[in-house]
């Protein structure tokens, strides 16, 4: 359960968690597609994910949170620290 007593700080933390969960899913999807088309050893960049998210937003008609490149970089860092993603 999320405690809402933190005000602005709590809202920022909630937004960060939601963006990170969203990005983790789509980074995984992007990586899976890359592997299936033969790019399994190719590193994924912040710019690639940013472009992918923008395509989802504009061409796919998906509801997408406002994502900055810094959000993607932060998500990559979290995934690397947790051992899920390679540097």
In a domain, 39, yes or no: yes
Would you state the pLDDT for residue 1?
Answer: 45
C-alpha span between 57 and 78 (Å, rounded): 24
Residue-range definition of the domain harbouring residue 36: 8-81
In a domain, 1, yes or no: no
- In Å, how far are 4, 37, 75, 78 from 82, measured between CA atoms? 27, 27, 11, 6
2-59 per-position pLDDT tens digit? 555 556 778 878 888 889 999 999 888 888 888 888 887 778 899 999 999 998 888 8
In a domain, 66, yes or no: yes
Domain count, the chain: 1
3-state secondary structure 19-36: HHHHHHHHHHHHHHHHHH
Among 14, 45, 6, which Cα is nearest to 27's? Answer: 45
Residue spans of beta strands (DSSP E) within the chain: none
C-alpha span between 27 and 49 (Å, rounded): 7
């Amino acid at each position: 359960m999320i405690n809402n007593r933190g005000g602005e700080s709590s809202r920022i933390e909630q937004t960060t968690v939601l963006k990170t969960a969203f990005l983790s899913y789509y980074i995984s999807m992007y990586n899976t597609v890359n592997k299936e088309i033969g790019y399994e050893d190719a590193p994924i960049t912040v710019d690639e994910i940013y472009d992918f998210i923008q395509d989802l937003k504009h061409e796919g008609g998906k509801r997408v949170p406002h994502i900055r490149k810094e959000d993607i970089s932060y998500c990559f860092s979290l995934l690397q620290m947790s051992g899920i993603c390679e540097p």
